[in-house]
Structure 1
Amino acid sequence: MEHTNTKSNGEEINNQLTDVLYEKNNGIAKITINRPEVYNAFRARTVSELIVCFRDAWDDNSIGAVILTGAGEKAFCTGGDQKNKGDDGYDGSGGLNGGIGLEIEALHRTIRAIPKPVIAAVNGYAIGGGHVLHVICDLTIAAESALFGQSGPKVGSYDAGLGTAYLARVVGEKKAREIWYLCEKYTAQEAKEMGLVNKVVPQEELMAASEEMAAKIVEKSPTAIKMLKYSFNADSANIEGISQIAMASLAMFYKTDESAEGMNAFLEKRPVDFKKFRE
């Protein structure tokens, strides 16, 4: 994936966005998921706008690092917005032809491939697909109030690619399986102890700490940083093939009654009942 080197006005792009905020200052691009009313859950438009911002930061030679965060103090991102998910995937555009209705694979590939470190500034809940986003970022700084965890098996979903195989590279097989099988929540300090987070700071210091880390990266040789990122990615590059198979199977799984039970229970705020699918 290559892009031409251009420099754009972040403000111009920001004026065209509805779900994401984008700004560029002092060699740092800051991308904010701006849907705090739904705990920064993403819909199809959100994912598309995130890709636009990341690719602009990629193309801009003046940018040396990217910060990804969520608006407000409650959530970094809580994954796909269940209110926009139907039997054929998100926004009704899923199925075999349209995948799951989200360009989530493209977003994951872009975050991994952009030749500039991406720092996740986790300001609250990083759950489900939001947890996967922070995992695949190069570095993570978390507010003391942040909470991490998976939810897929509770709502009839999964990310059996970077969300699992790469997570296991980060925290180890046993812990990764625990995170996915049990769907429990972990504090910022617990996440740091398992190697999932680089640094924990008070909520009010989160953005300053993230910008300080990004500024240190911007001072470094851009070619050296790019080649280091490529080298780090090489060891887990084969996971992308697993992700493609997983997303294809997920598109089919979303058409089943089993997946629908998870979604409906969440929307109806009732206990989920998967027992009948074991018969």
Structure 2
Amino acid sequence: MTDVLVERGAGEALWIRLNRPERRNAFDPAMSAAIVEALEDAASARAVVITGSGGSFCAGGSLQQLSTPTVGEMRQLYQSTLRMLDAVRQCPRPVIAAVNGAAAGGGNELVVACDVAIAARSATFGQTGPRVGSSPVTGATNVMGLQIGEKRAKELSLFCRRYSAEQAERMGLVNAVVEDDLLEQTVTEWCGELAALSPRYLEITKVSSNVWWNAARDSFSAGLGMLVQAVGSPDMTEGAAAFLEKRRPNFPPPE
């Protein structure tokens, strides 16, 4: 199975479709690299759309290896995730998240990284880090606060609740919510609007808007460094094991 499907759509848009539905389109380093490659080849398009297959948008980083992690594997996963999110921001074309299902953990941070987000009414959003033995340091603990407000971003990051598409729109996490069967049509219409504008000045506008993302870049690196230091900790292994076994985690008491 091809992890990432890339195709040209109406409105001169490049569609990047995450294609691992059996794991809810969670990404591993190979899948992240394929997304980066597609984004780096998008300069000839007028817009880029990222969406999912099989009724899910993206469940974030794959947790399969977290119950028996190695430092090398986890460093590779963390660094590849950051490269993917940076590629979204560095892509010269506007990137639209077409959120067609659950955007969880790193999938929610992918929405944060995209320039615009349109959600199907059935889509859900939320962070998962402290519930699964991780922390959302590549967008949710920093840039998301600028998008939806610090207190609300901390609520998402700390409590790991799930939010509806309508709640996400009210927060400012997404730009619009449409009926499920109208999602791709609506995204195509937005791409058509972008296709009528100057690609040169859209690129200038996008690059200029990255000021807060760039300012948070040191926070990303520092957070990932702390995550690497926590690889193999009881909290990480218990959180991942509980997630994979579909049970409530039993974390050790604070030290």
Residue matched to 1:34: 19
Matched, 1:22 2:2: no
Q: How many residues align?
A: 253
User: 2: CA distance between counterparts of 1:100 and 1:264?
Assistant: 18
Residue matched to 2:109: 132
After TM superposition, the score normalised by the length of structure 1 is: 0.86
Residue matched to 1:88: 70
Q: SS at the partner of 2:5?
A: strand
Residues 219-239 of structure 1: per-residue CA shift (max 9 Å, x gap): 100111011111111133111
User: 1: CA distance between counterparts of 2:57 and 2:214?
Assistant: 26
User: 2: CA distance between counterparts of 1:258 and 1:248?
Assistant: 17
Report sequence identity in percent: 36
Equivalent residues in 2 for 1:150-169 (5 A)? 150-169=127-146
User: 2: CA distance between counterparts of 1:45 and 1:18?
Assistant: 11
Residue matched to 1:8: none
User: 1: CA distance between counterparts of 2:77 and 2:100?
Assistant: 27
Residue matched to 1:11: none
Q: SS at the partner of 1:270?
A: coil
Question: Aligned-pair distance for 1:277?
Answer: 3.7
Give the letter aligned to residue 35 of structure 1: R
Q: SS at the partner of 2:57?
A: strand
Equivalent residues in 2 for 1:96-115 (5 A)? 98-100=75-77, 103-115=80-92
Question: Aligned-pair distance for 1:159?
Answer: 2.1
Note closer, same or farther for the CA distance 1:101–1:193 as it changes in structure 2 (3 Å cut). Answer: closer
User: 2: CA distance between counterparts of 1:102 and 1:234?
Assistant: 21
Question: Aligned-pair distance for 1:162?
Answer: 2.1
User: 2: CA distance between counterparts of 1:101 and 1:189?
Assistant: 30
Residue matched to 1:65: 47
User: 1: CA distance between counterparts of 2:54 and 2:246?
Assistant: 24
After TM superposition, the score normalised by the length of structure 2 is: 0.94
Question: Aligned-pair distance for 1:270?
Answer: 2.1
User: 2: CA distance between counterparts of 1:42 and 1:114?
Assistant: 19
Residue matched to 2:58: 77
- RMSD value over aligned CA atoms? 1.6
Of the three residues 157, 173, 190, the one matched with 1:196 is 173
User: 1: CA distance between counterparts of 2:178 and 2:6?
Assistant: 23
**Aligned 8 A contact 1:76 1:123 in 2:** yes
Residue matched to 1:208: 185
Matched, 1:278 2:231: no
- Return 5+ residue gaps in structure 2 as ranges: none
Residue matched to 1:52: 37
Residue matched to 2:159: 182
**Aligned 8 A contact 1:47 1:104 in 2:** yes
Question: Aligned-pair distance for 1:209?
Answer: 0.6
Residues 158-207 of structure 1: per-residue CA shift (max 9 Å, x gap): 12242221000000011001111111111101110111111111111101
